[in-house]
């Protein structure tokens, strides 16, 4: 375990506001957007909520920066999801996770 101040992180929590059938019409663009954010080093993890009511995205960065990025998600741009951003600073992590931060 690593115990040290780490960089700011933010969770972007997506909530679907349209039926899944409509959400799914934007999924390919959403996945491409996630892949681009990961390639740029901005996003660390992404996944769908269980049950499928939205998604959870883990970003490097403060709330304002991440909110600006999250608002470019095709799900948000096309009005099929809303986003809530929760910022935090990780202070404890297992070694495997700390290496990615």
- Alpha carbon of 1 to those of 26, 50, 94, 96: distances in Å? 39, 28, 4, 9
CATH number at residue 52: 3.30.70.1060
Total domain count for the chain?
A: 1
Is residue 42 predicted with pLDDT exceeding 80? yes
Local confidence band at 5 (pLDDT 50, 70, 90 cut-offs):
low
Beta strands in the chain (DSSP E): 2-3, 8-16, 43-48, 54-60, 81-89, 92-93
For residue 25, the model assigns a pLDDT of 99
Tell me the residue range of the domain where 90 lies.
2-100
Torsions phi, psi of 15, nearest 5?
A: -125, 125
Residue 46: count of CB within 10 angstroms of its CB: 19
């Amino acid at each position: 375990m690593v115990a040290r101040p780490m960089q700011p992180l933010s969770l972007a929590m997506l909530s679907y506001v349209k039926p899944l059938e409509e959400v799914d019409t934007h999924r390919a663009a959403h996945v491409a957007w996630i892949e681009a954010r990961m390639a740029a080093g901005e996003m660390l993890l992404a996944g769908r909520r269980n049950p499928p009511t939205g998604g959870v995205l883990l970003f490097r960065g403060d709330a304002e920066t991440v909110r600006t990025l999250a608002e470019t998600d095709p799900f948000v741009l096309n009005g099929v999801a809303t986003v809530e951003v929760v910022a935090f600073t990780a202070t404890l992590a297992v070694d495997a996770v700390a290496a990615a931060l």
